[in-house]
Structure 1
């Protein structure tokens, strides 16, 4: 099979149709994209060759990144590794000119990059927001500066919706988890905090004081490979960590044994993964209920992925000198929670949820040259953008 032209690898990734639009439910189009922090690029010479080359210069990259983002015509855009200065001076004013509003949160400490989420104001209005810090005082599992941005949005455009139908509510989470492959315990802790915060924001009080959960989109750079234990926790809603090593969590290393490991120390020392004072149980939600199954993490978000990942596949979302793999995802609420997935005292059901219609193709490892790394003259980040179109639909119970 002939190798594709290198510019086509990144510039002609079409949307693959998964299902046809059903009835009059409103659709939402989301993009997630790690745009590569300028500071991180120059602080990691082992990942990026020819750092003085023209294609790595921010003045070259910024216009191309913006043009690419706008070409997707998304309703919601989640960006990671955005420099605070670049958000204020570049992304926000230019995207605002194109009908978007946006919020930004930098990583904690002295970090200058963070997560930025934009939404098209002709489609959604902002109802609520929360900036989530994964660093918690006196907690060695939550001692890193990663963050998440959560937005609660309400639809303002009835286009494609049934006449007289109420506006759609949507919780959108944008995050960038820890990179360090040796600290899977930290990554699991960050995911637990993220899921707890998402569940709390997505839980709404309806007529008669009845609690329901609005549809959820969770997107970003999770720094974990497909089918890894962390990936399985998000999608399957359950993970037993008692026999896992921290280095195995993100899928970078398999079957690690022998070394002293914090995960096994947690399993041996207490039933709760996180300190109880944080109020987040092994059900990945804010509660102080006892754990019915020790050393097992659960959640009731019932998330699916916009992308299917088969074992051994060669698709990728990031490419640099150390890796050519998938670490970026778009997760969405896809069905009504089952009480068997999360043993909370009162699981909350979805009234509405989301149905995947299409997703943008991912590039293949066979389409890039050996030793090739991004950014280059065609692609201005070391990641590629992910995009999905979804439709609001009634939840199945």
Structure 2
């Protein structure tokens, strides 16, 4: 009918109009429905179309996750409670009951990292070849193995950062895997061979916030961009175990480990892989905590010290965050060869309670200092891992890596760098914590001498006190307390643990901000592996960074739909570093 009408119109057209008529006929004829299509039932499409002049585009019913995330991050701060994330029951100061999260992805005025400026950026080994040298295998922490069984005819598993087809099979979805490379430190090529009587012990350390399932449900608004399938524990657990197995680290430092999942699933799986596990649950009602696992085939446990930051009756230290400090020694090392002190923690999240974060770290540093220095006065290397809920350029991280913090006139909400604006925030008080805590401004316990046999220095002090009268001892104790109070009032904090970050805050070669956590309201770096550099201890007994698993920037995370997703089952990325430690060989 329609075509016959067009034909009748064509007979009345002038010759100069025929070209326009033919063009219209060509454009409209293909879209005319056939009789069979007119009779067929219509289907409701899950996607809708919107048209404009000359353009037809397709839109989904929901905005893409990365656009929603970007819209939220453009706001200066988004306020919400911290009771369920990163610890803490309440917030009576600074931020009241509300907080804010904001991006620290690209801080203005910040240039490339020191590693970049000094030309010490590690080389990137992204294009892994099937053939690898023995040095490459050693650098990557050995051949990674998987909890998932491989087919009999499969080749050897790929090195860290490369996903195998076996691991991909159960994780297929619209998200793709993040491409992470192994970055080799340039110091490896210039590293001198061990001296006579010394030998090199290489080991790898992973730090990973695996996202507690109960915290995921309690903070579900952070994960609205995720599919329900990606958030189910039945899907997340195999992913997490496969990830831990693939990277095959000698030491695992895990945060947000839910207690029931640890006891019933995670610990049995790790034990089957040859790990021994140490766990510390948070002191409050939250079900998660910190765990450290190490390979018994390579390391033995000398001691384990759980650390609680909660102090009853202390208005500042009323949060339930915890930490772990353990001492590890190579299996084939002599007892006198020393040890590595490994610490793991998850610091309070609340961006506006920098005073609580500093006090928690002071307790942890005091425990590390006490544990890493035996009575003979020797010093041993330290590896400090965890989710510090602080950005790389923040005063808190600078305090850890420089050993000094001047905090006079420092707003309480600027300590962690999670927020930019400090208007209306109170300043840090002096002293930050009460002298009754027993920790001085050097982040050491005031009284560490328990007996005259504990150290020569303590014995000297006790011999001097034994010749004093009771009145003299009381006067000295009063003077010592006054000196401690004055020291705490100097508006500065210090610690003498030489610590360096395994990861620079910016990516090479373009200087984009490195990201370790990403969800619908923030994308920033808050996870760290700090270590004692080799040159900072006598005789070069510190640690040499050999390599690390690269981080990514925000664009890469937007391409995979943010975190978590079907392939990556936490809102944090795992950090992995490999170290060399020179130990005395007494075999």
Q: Does TM-score exceed 0.5, indicating one fold? A: yes
Paired position in structure 2 for 1:383: 572
Question: CA 1:178/1:165 → structure 2, altered by over 3 Å: closer, same or farther?
Answer: closer
Structure 1 counterpart of 2:503, from 291, 304, 307: 307
Q: Give me the whole-angstrom Cα distance separating, in 2, the residues matched to 1:233 and 1:56.
A: 36
State yes or no: 1:294 paired with 2:490: yes
Question: CA 1:143/1:262 → structure 2, altered by over 3 Å: closer, same or farther?
Answer: farther
State yes or no: 1:374 paired with 2:563: yes
Gaps of 5+ in 2: 1-173, 194-198, 447-480
Please give the secondary structure, in 1, of the residue aligned with 2:371: helix
State yes or no: 1:261 paired with 2:426: yes
Deviations 1:281-302 (A, max 9, x none): 1111112763287010100001
Structure 1 counterpart of 2:325, from 142, 150, 155: 150
Structure 2 counterpart of 1:174, from 333, 338, 344: 344
Paired position in structure 2 for 1:128: 303
Q: Give me the whole-angstrom Cα distance separating, in 2, the residues matched to 1:68 and 1:22.
A: 34
Please give the secondary structure, in 2, of the residue aligned with 1:314: coil
Structure 2 counterpart of 1:80, from 241, 246, 255: 255
How far does residue 137 in structure 1 lie from its aligned partner after superposition? 2.0
Question: How well do the aligned residues superpose, as a CA RMSD in angstroms?
Answer: 2.5
Paired position in structure 2 for 1:345: none
Paired position in structure 2 for 1:237: 403
Q: Give me the whole-angstrom Cα distance separating, in 1, the residues matched to 2:491 and 2:536.
A: 22
How far does residue 315 in structure 1 lie from its aligned partner after superposition? 1.5
Number of residue pairs matched by the alignment: 363
8 Å CA contact 1:102, 1:116 repeated in 2: yes
Paired position in structure 2 for 1:54: 229
Deviations 1:137-195 (A, max 9, x none): 2222211100001101111146xxxxx89544011001000111111111111111111
Paired position in structure 2 for 1:29: 204
Please give the secondary structure, in 2, of the residue aligned with 1:204: coil
Structure 2 counterpart of 1:94, from 239, 255, 269: 269
How far does residue 314 in structure 1 lie from its aligned partner after superposition? 2.1
How far does residue 109 in structure 1 lie from its aligned partner after superposition? 1.2
Q: Give me the whole-angstrom Cα distance separating, in 1, the residues matched to 2:209 and 2:407.
A: 29
Paired position in structure 2 for 1:279: 438
Question: CA 1:379/1:292 → structure 2, altered by over 3 Å: closer, same or farther?
Answer: closer
How far does residue 50 in structure 1 lie from its aligned partner after superposition? 5.7
State yes or no: 1:194 paired with 2:353: no
Q: Give me the whole-angstrom Cα distance separating, in 1, the residues matched to 2:201 and 2:282.
A: 34
Please give the secondary structure, in 2, of the residue aligned with 1:26: strand
Question: CA 1:244/1:394 → structure 2, altered by over 3 Å: closer, same or farther?
Answer: farther
Q: Give me the whole-angstrom Cα distance separating, in 2, the residues matched to 1:88 and 1:22.
A: 44
Larger mean Cα displacement after TM superposition, 288-297 or 83-92:
288-297
Q: Give me the whole-angstrom Cα distance separating, in 2, the residues matched to 1:330 and 1:75.
A: 14
Paired position in structure 2 for 1:344: none
State yes or no: 1:322 paired with 2:521: yes
Please give the secondary structure, in 2, of the residue aligned with 1:149: strand
User: Scaled by the length of structure 1, what TM-score is found?
Assistant: 0.86
Larger mean Cα displacement after TM superposition, 96-105 or 366-375:
366-375
Please give the secondary structure, in 1, of the residue aligned with 2:378: strand
8 Å CA contact 1:302, 1:336 repeated in 2: no
